[in-house]
Amino acid sequence: MGAGDLGPWQPLSLEDTVRLFAAFPGRWWISGGRALELHVGRSWRDHEDSDVSVLRQDMAGLKTVLIGWDLQVAAAGALSSWTGYALRAGRSQNNVWCRPGKNAPWSLDVTIGDGDATSWVYRRDPNLQVEWDEAVLRTASGIPYLAPELQLLFKGKDIRPKDDVDAREVIPELDGERTARLRKALPADHPWHALLA
């Protein structure tokens, strides 16, 4: 589902997102294209939305930082009001779109992450587990963001033009360990292997 298919977007700035989630009572991190930019330290394209991730088991905390916001589960090409019920990966309940009010543009796409006390777990293949200090990195100012190879893994499933641009900007910047992790996790016939050579 595209960012504009179910209403207009006015993405929350990185600064405003960080300020909102500073009070979140659980683990959170910047994800999507902005996570890649935080890792590389520069921007190369505009963003049609703002992505932040929280752990599935910490989702209830969203109501404490987005008080009064319209929160909608985005699944199967449709939106449904989220009232705080447990979100299930088996039902593709992995995103909550958020806006300050019912008539406002969408501001945040909250992506549901999986993991336990020690490791981040890749939702599409639970065998891929990465310890938190390797999976969620921090900028010099302390902003948490998803490691670039893990973010590219999500982007690599159904490649859109912007994902290909992101891969071409970021893959050359990866260190050997992150390159190896991405190479191992991508399907053998994935086109990004040419960038990882």
Q: What is the mean pLDDT of residues 104-108?
A: 97
Q: What is the mean pLDDT of residues 46-60?
A: 95
pTM confidence score: 0.94
Which CATH architecture fits 14-196? Answer: 2-Layer Sandwich (3.30)
pLDDT of the residue at 90: 85
- The residue with greater pLDDT, 6 or 120, is 120
User: Buried b / exposed e across 46-85, counting CB within 10 Å, b at 16+?
Assistant: ebbbbbbbbbbebbebbeebbeebbbbbbbeeebeebeee
Tokens of 49: 């939305």
* Cβ atoms of residues 170 and 179 within 8 Å: no
At 4, is the pLDDT very low, low, confident or very high (cuts 50, 70, 90)?
Answer: low
Question: Who's near 81: CB < 8 A, 6+ residues apart?
Answer: 70, 71, 72, 73
In the chain, what are the domain boundaries? 14-196
- The residue with greater pLDDT, 62 or 1, is 62
